[in-house]
Chain A
Amino acid sequence: MNINLTMLMQAVAFFAFILFTAKFIWPPLMRAIETRQKEIADGLAAGEEGRHSLVRAEKQIAEMLVDAKTRASDIVAQGEKLKSEAVEQARTDAKTEAERILAAAKAEIEQEVHRAKESLRAQVSELAVAGAEKILKREVDAKAHADLLSALEKQL
């Protein structure tokens, strides 16, 4: 154990190496490490964010699916309703039409009856006049008794 000038030389070398490390080695290396750490952290955060948005999207999809199903069943139900309504409507229309046709037919029949009556009436009055003529054995002046006849006709 002999302490000598070597110690001073070693101390000087030590400080030189410390300065070199502190100036040229430590800062750039730490900068690289820290930058990479930050990049990795950012990447992880982005990945996490992506996963979150995926979960969100899946939730949204599920919601949309439920919504679409509800709407589809609504539409189907509405369709059913419309169909039954249309059937009902058609039935009603048909009934109305039938009634209308029936009514028209009845009216026509009535008219025919009426017409038949008219013509019958006219014939009856003619017959009556002819009968009366025969009874009276003389000609009844049709013109003179026109009022009487038409009144008679009306009574029939």
Chain B
Amino acid sequence: MAEEHALDATSYIQHHLTFLAEPVRESGGFWTLHYDTIVTSLILGVVVFGLLWLVTRKATTGVPSKTQAFVELSVRFVNDQVRSLFHHDYRVVAPIALTVFVWVLFMNAMDFLPVDIMAWIYQNIFHQHEWRGVPTADVNTTFALALSVFGLMIFYSIKNKGLFGWIKELISTPFGIKPLWAAPLLAIFNLLFNTIEYVSKPLSHSLRLYGNMYAGEIIFLLIGLWAATGVAGVIAGSILHLGWSIFHILIVVLQAYIFMMLTVVYISMAHEHH
């Protein structure tokens, strides 16, 4: 923690929730980059997928090593989930699901690192005063993932149904366009329904993950605040911190799992004809 800050609750929490934001243009605003989010997620991605790749390169069809067995277990898990949900060529979707699951899982898992110790490390070793370690607690990351999935969803919709078929589906489901005299009215309602559905998908998809991880971070901060009140606070805070961390293991994995499943479901829905 930074000594030059006054140690009150607001500044403590604000400090922990400030991104390392740098405007890439004079105006700032949209043209800003959160370097902490980008660097952390990229490092995690490169390390994790690099490790997977290393395991894959040494993969044998015979008796697998323990590492390979573990990786295969994860891959089989994702594959089974995808196959149970996705009744088309799952080979396209399964790698996407694996990428989402593994990457999100590890970005979420950054939440396990104790906030204040990490803050000290960022401060004193990397000389970064403001650095947020959990990329999925940044709404940009979750929106990026959800909108990418949204893009894939529309891509597969058009690919499988054709542009015309997709547009037809947008205006003809879920109410249909019969009888003919009511067709314009029904088409408007159908389009409205589908629009809401399409907008709500990436919104709920991204905000669910973001909300969970952000809330988790805040609760860690609140517990940390309590620890600053004295010896009793430290003891109580430590116990609470342990409890919340254990519970957080569930949340981290569950949210990664949910994010993956929704990705598969959305892309699967894009393949289905109504």
Residues on A facing B (Cβ under 8 Å) = 1-11, 13-15, 17-18, 20-22, 24-26, 28-33, 35-36, 39
Contacts and interface: CB of A to CB of B under 8 A. Distances in A.
A13 B141 CA distance: 10
Interface string B102-146: 110000000000000000000000000000000100111101110
Interface of B: 21, 24, 29-34, 37-38, 41-42, 45, 49, 52-53, 55-57, 59-62, 64, 68, 71-72, 75-76, 79, 91, 94-96, 98-99, 102-103, 135, 138-141, 143-145, 147-148
Given A5-B30, A28-B59, A10 B144 contact: yes
Contact of B38 (A9, A21, A31, A39): A9
B144 A25 contact: no
Contacts of B79: 30
A2 B32 contact: yes
A6 B138 contact: yes
Given A17-B49, A25-B95, A5 B56 contact: no
Contacts of B148: 11, 14-15
Contacts of A20: 49, 53, 99
Given A7-B140, A18-B99, 18 more contacts: A4-B34, A5-B33, A6-B34, A6-B140, A9-B33, A14-B99, A14-B145, A17-B103, A22-B99, A24-B53, A25-B49, A25-B98, A26-B91, A28-B56, A32-B72, A33-B75, A33-B76, A36-B61
